[in-house]
Amino acid sequence: MNPDIAIMPEILAKHGLTPEEYDRIQKILGREPNITELGIFSVMWSEHCSYKNSRPELKKFPREAPFILVKAGEENAGIVDIGDGWAVAFKIESHNHPSAVEPFQGAATGVGGIIRDIFTMGARPVLNMDSLRFGPLEDAQNRRLFAGVVAGIAHYGNCIGIPTVGGEVYFDESYNGNPLVNALCLGVLRHDQIKRGRAVGVGNPVIYVGSATGRDGLAGAAFASRGLTAESHEDRPAVQVGDPFMEKLLLEACLEAMRVEGLVVGIQDMGAAGLTCSTCETASRGGSGIEIDLENVPKRETGMTPYEIMLSESQERMLLIAQKGREREVEEIFEKWDLHGVTIGRVTDDGVMRVKMGDEVAAEIPAKALTDDAPVYQREARQVENLMFEFSHVPEPKDYEETFVKLLSSPTIASKNWVYRQYDHMVQDRTIVAPGSDAAVIRIQEANKFIAFTTDCNATYCCLDPFEGGKIAVAEAARNLVSSGARPLAITNCLNFGNPMKPEVFWQFRRCVEGISEACRVFGTPVTGGNVSFYNESPAGTVDPTPVIGMLGVIDDPKHITTQWFKDAGDVVLLLGDVSEELGGSEYLKRIHGLRTGTPPRMNLSHAKRIHDTLLDLIRRGWVKSAHDCSEGGLAVALAECCMSNGDAIIGAEIDLSRFGGRLDALLFGETQSRIIVSCAPEHAKKIGGTVLGTTGGKALRVGAVSWDVALLRDAWWNAIARLMDA
């Protein structure tokens, strides 16, 4: 961009800055900014980087706990203690807009970015997960987006050698034109290996490492902070291009440098806003300044302007602050890995981010003005009225066998094997429970620890009742972990919403945050960090509020690892929790009756906590053979998954619901919360308690007079997505 360009109203609008914000910039600088400075303010004051619309609400999250080593908002990722001097760093982030424009690279670079957030903390990445949302697969455009995103995730994770061990995928009309692509990474490290993204030590060198800078990804943070339009495909320069093999080299080189005593003082990923973000954030955190010379920045294109260099979001780059006089040690490490390691500046004591191009100053801005002192807004919130429905007006199915097959074939409920078979989930030889059960379980060999992880969110609930939906998202994540034998420990979240300027959207956001906060306090799972993704809108409309929860759990003894499928014929099937007729917001109403309305299930958090504690106690006593949470599709889907989710090892069940009364479709497909199906040997049934549903055995799932051949159910469930993708 021409450095002498006049800053007119249309230039401000293109940069996503308001006239009031421009006035504020002029007061900060005491003069008019040049175009490079305007671009820097634009990306750093975007919602994506500054959280200017969400920051007041995020303060409601519980963040404190004795096991929290790095809190939410302090660094690139939160870190929690898992015992014996070991810790894990984990975080989830969105890459929604880039994936809508260019699904393969958008998703791939989303994975690459979240991996860098983890190893910049000093942790070795050991697992990836994802949380994805698309429009219905009956539409060819949605199939194209879905295929491209999954291929991009698989490509990056498989090539870099980090297992993608699980996640979730939902399909709904609200995501037409605006898919959600949330990527999560977790890494392991010792307490004394934690690194900070801080520029400290006046005179210490600022070293650029990794790939060269190009024009890809220009102003990606600003692009992510506005709604998608019919012209968004013209923003392809805002979509980065990733190279997982380069990132593998960068990962190993950075970890090697960080393991050298005293060599690396601070380190920061060049993610959103690229070199701009990494320089001003490290300076702000360190209470210092930074001066860099862009002539020294490795470039892969000629004639790049300061504006382009500072705003480029080229991938696989990091910024290191090293000890003065030890520059050559850093350079030698990165030369060994065939990467750039170039000193481009130094730490100063004036609190200013100063960008030079040779002898000329291209930008000079107080670092804190770009970070801590960015504008913060209190947005208007207006409640959305929910549409009600009368259960009595919903006809009962005439053919339960056909209805259940149709429900199991719903892509939201169907097996996601079409997705996870493209992922290498066994690389690194850590995976104990692979995709296909309630939560992934991995072994951390170096620490002799076992952890479980899950991602969860039912956006339909959040749309119909954001407060209850937020609570349910946390509770289901916890329920998935305890069903796997793990103690829930902490969460990260990715909050995907529409335009915060719309009062109805901001009300949804606020209520979801409040629901999540309340649930986290009850379960004792503080928030360690995450991401807010606003402006998830397209000409087709606004996405449903989708606050995705990623939850970490610790398994104290490998004997406690539990999976969801039935193990033996003749076992007793029990239900922990209640049987009731809550159909509001259910997948049954949506898929079978075309209704997305009503009051979603109520979440009693104290009751849920008692269920979770009870199940963990039962697992530790060795009485539980399998455990599976009831979620979308209700009791019937959960029972069927218990029968058929262990490959070809089908075990049916005989279930009796006659004593409960009420309509059978509500009993089978209602989505009452805090319910877990367990199986056990007959001698343990009375000791466990709960509600006896029946026994395992045979090749059919029978509920009273209704019977389904499990092999036929499995075919419908296992192959549903593949059949739609081949259409």
95 is catalytic: yes
Instruction: Establish how many alpha carbons lie within 13 A of residue 406's alpha carbon, considering only the half-sphere containing its beta carbon.
Output: 15
Which strand ranges, in their side-by-side order, compose the sheet holding 180-190? 68-70, 78-83, 86-94, 180-190, 124-134, 164-171
* Contact (Cβ atoms closer than 8 angstroms) between residue 320 and residue 201: no
Phi, psi (rounded to 5 degrees) for 599: -90, 120
> Exposed (0-12), middle (13-18) or buried (19+): which is 709, by Cβ within 10 Å?
middle
Compute the residue count for the chain.
727
375: Cβ–Cβ under 8 A, 6 or more apart, which residues?
A: 21, 24, 45, 50, 52
* Contact (Cβ atoms closer than 8 angstroms) between residue 284 and residue 370: yes
347: β partners: 290
363: β partners: 355
Q: In the numeric block, which tokens belong to residue 453?
A: 């992880």
Place of tokens 């320089």: 279
Residue 618 and residue 608: Cα distance in Å, rounded?
15
48 is catalytic: yes
Q: In the numeric block, which tokens belong to residue 711?
A: 């092999």
* Contact (Cβ atoms closer than 8 angstroms) between residue 430 and residue 446: no
Instruction: Establish how many alpha carbons lie within 13 A of residue 634's alpha carbon, considering only the half-sphere containing its beta carbon.
Output: 26
CB atoms within 10 A of CB 201: 18
Catalytic option among 95, 425, 612, 684: 95
DSSP sequence for 84-153: TTEEEEEEEEE-HHHHHHSHHHHHHHHHHHHHHHHHTTTPEEEEEEEEEEES-TTSHHHHHHHHHHHHHH
Catalytic option among 15, 48, 155, 425: 48
Q: What share of the chain is helix, strand, coil (3-state, %, to 5)?
A: 40, 25, 35
Q: Which residues are catalytic?
A: 48, 95
